[in-house]
Amino acid sequence: MSHNHSHNGHSHSHSHNANKKALTVSFILISLYMIVEFVGGYITNSLALLSDAGHMLSDSFALGLSLSALLFGQRAATTNKTFGYKRFEILAALLNGLILVIIAIFICKEAIARFSQPESVVGEGMIIISTIGLIINLIVAWILSRGEAKDNLNVRSAFLHVIGDLLGSVGAIIAALLIIFFGWNIADPIASIIVSVLVLYSGWHIIKESVNILMEGKPANVNSESILLQLRGIGGVVDVHDLHIWMITSDFTSLTVHLVVGKDVDRDNILEKAIFLINKESGIKHITIQTEGRPLDLHDECKL
């Protein structure tokens, strides 16, 4: 019986630093503007601005939580937690998703209440504040979408928070224009409803991905059947079983598998071919393979 283990740690470190820098800058920008938008929403009596400020408050919390998750997840593995604290990032992403859903429901409820009695809104002040918010959100969205940051679920959950804000700013600008030129104060709650639906979709998507990772699911882009076919096609491999593919975090996938090999074969060569094929087929770096002989009395029982 023999086994081999392969992984690449450098890319994780580089990705981690990129994500940490992106989250830190984004956290500072969002937190500062959130205060400005809240005050502006209160002065102009705009629900669209206040709801967007509430969303930005959740963004600030989400970014801070995501940053904390990256720092906490950097802690070394222990004998009790052999993968370290990397899963803390996914717990943070799940919480972010839940917050998005709660905020979406709250915004929708408040907007519906305003439909029957639309309140007067200061359109001029609303458009100035929402335009500045749009610029801030565009900058933060650009920062979070660059390079390795876009491939991390925790960072993407924060990114979707910001996209929700960006759309909220666009909606607030449109609503402000309608209020200024046509006096349509009802445009304010309508914009809030549209934002709440978009925020709800983003939150649900993040929750679904987080739960998939916590349930040891495989990445959507990895084809288990294709990997099995590739491994069974290696010369000297009699059978393949106990194939397990799961995500520790969204950017850290692991694979373990047992290869049943024939007698008098070069196991090292088989291991090298297997690792190459798995990496080529799926891009997975963290691979553990065990080779074993096939007992005669288990001739028909080594199945996946």
pLDDT per position as a tens digit, 233-264: 988 888 898 899 998 877 788 999 999 998 88
CB 259 within 8 A of CB 270: yes
For residues 16 and 240, give the distance between their C-alpha atoms in angstroms, rounded to a whole number.
34
Domain ranges (residues) in the chain: 2-214, 224-298
Phi-psi region of 236 (alpha: psi -120 to 50; beta: other; left: phi over 0): left
The upper half-sphere exposure of residue 96, i.e. CA atoms within 13 Å in the direction of its Cβ, equals 34
Span 224-298 CATH architecture = 2-Layer Sandwich (3.30)
Q: Domain 2-214's class?
A: mainly alpha
192 falls in which pLDDT band (50, 70, 90)? Answer: confident
In Å, how far are 44, 227, 250, 271, 301 from 240, measured between CA atoms? 66, 10, 26, 13, 11
Q: Is the pLDDT of residue 199 over 50?
A: yes
Q: Is the pLDDT of residue 304 over 90?
A: no
pLDDT one-digit tens code per residue, 99-154:
878 888 887 888 888 787 777 777 788 888 888 888 988 998 888 877 555 556 66
Averaged pLDDT of the chain: 79
* Residue 298 confidence (pLDDT): 46
In Å, how far are 47, 135, 303 from 123, measured between CA atoms? 12, 18, 68
pTM over 0.75: no
| Parallel/antiparallel/unpaired status of strands 237-249 and 2-6 | unpaired
Phi-psi region of 147 (alpha: psi -120 to 50; beta: other; left: phi over 0): left
